[in-house]
């Protein structure tokens, strides 16, 4: 479920054509329901091996048919490590018994605030009042989640997914600094740097070579379909289609779509995995999403209000 960094546009907001709107909904549906696929596939593969397989199939054989993007190897390396190890490796580890998939789909959206923080650090900008409110509202939601930890959602799991959000924020910042690039090619080539550390972590902490080969040999067709869904559906289709939409429309028009990811994630987890949706989860989700909405839409709402008052 990983979206490339968006860029500001001076163009006025426009309405997405119906076909483009359906594509945007398809992307966020893939990213949201992907958390269910992760949970099911983790029954066959240990988390870091699962993440390694995801990037192996995202890299091969496509890397032999597309040129390397015009960006430094260092940039590709940082992006690959941030997404492969920091974001997905750690998030898979968290979902493997430490946090429920639905809540993970919500908490990972903290990446928005980390992305903003890094942008402010590099641009030497201060935190604006509405952003303080947005962060406070979202943190209240996370506080509610932390106050309701149990066997399915632990403090460690919550912390790990927040760290995954931090890693996603780093990846967004690095991809933004790469400039105008082919995002599909960028994701494929960056996978080169995701695979080795994930395999090393798996070898050291997940039972060694014997455990790795046993998992691969005994995995069902369904588990392998989960790997391919991660590689081709979530990574390659999601990134390529999202980058295409961003190239066709102002960022302000397309950027709100990922706000639906937690809705799909929590809904799919409730439907397919029977994950409960008590009132506190709904409240926490509402607060986190409200914080994201405030951060995204407040400047536009303020400008619109000035036209009427």
Distance of CA 145 to the CA centre of its chain: 19
Using a 10 angstrom Cβ sphere, with 0-12 exposed, 13-18 middle and 19 or more buried, the burial of residue 298 is middle
pLDDT at 11: 45
Q: Read off the DSSP letter of residue 8.
A: -
pLDDT tens, residue order, the chain (309 aa): 555 444 444 444 456 788 888 888 898 889 889 999 999 999 999 999 999 999 999 999 999 999 999 999 999 999 999 999 999 999 999 999 999 998 898 899 888 778 778 877 876 666 778 878 888 888 898 888 888 877 788 999 999 999 999 998 898 888 878 877 888 899 999 999 999 999 999 999 998 899 899 999 999 999 999 999 999 988 888 877 877 786 677 655 666 677 788 888 889 999 998 888 889 888 988 888 888 788 777 777 777 666 665
Using a 10 angstrom Cβ sphere, with 0-12 exposed, 13-18 middle and 19 or more buried, the burial of residue 120 is middle
């Amino acid at each position: 479920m990983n979206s490339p960094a968006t860029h500001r546009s001076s163009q006025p907001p426009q309405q997405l054509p119906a076909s483009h709107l359906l594509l945007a909904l398809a992307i966020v549906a893939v990213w949201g329901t992907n958390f269910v696929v992760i949970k099911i596939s983790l029954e066959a593969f240990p988390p870091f091996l699962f993440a390694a397989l995801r990037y192996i199939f995202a890299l091969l054989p496509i890397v032999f048919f597309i040129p390397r993007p015009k960006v430094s190897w260092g940039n590709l390396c940082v992006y690959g490590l941030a997404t492969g190890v920091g974001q997905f490796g750690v998030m898979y580890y968290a979902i493997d018994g430490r946090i429920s998939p639905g809540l993970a789909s919500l908490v990972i959206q903290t990446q928005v605030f980390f992305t903003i923080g890094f942008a402010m650090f590099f641009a030497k900008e201060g935190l604006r009042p509405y952003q303080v409110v947005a962060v406070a509202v979202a943190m209240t939601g996370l506080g509610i989640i932390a106050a309701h930890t149990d066997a399915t959602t632990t403090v460690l799991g919550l912390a790990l997914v927040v760290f995954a959000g931090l890693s996603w924020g780093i990846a967004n910042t690095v991809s933004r600094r790469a400039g105008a690039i082919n995002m599909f090619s960028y994701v494929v080539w960056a996978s080169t740097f995701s695979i080795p550390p994930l395999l090393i972590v798996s070898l050291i902490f997940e039972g060694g070579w014997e455990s790795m080969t046993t998992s691969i040999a005994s995995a069902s067709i369904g588990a392998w379909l989960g790997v391919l869904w991660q590689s081709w559906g979530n990574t390659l289709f999601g990134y390529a289609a999202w980058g295409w939409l961003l190239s066709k429309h102002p960022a302000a028009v397309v950027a709100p779509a990922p706000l639906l990811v937690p809705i799909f994630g929590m809904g799919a987890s409730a439907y397919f995995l029977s994950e409960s949706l008590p009132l506190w989860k709904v409240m926490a989700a509402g607060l986190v999403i409200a914080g994201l909405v405030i951060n995204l839409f407040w400047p536009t709402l303020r400008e619109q209000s000035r036209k009427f008052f």
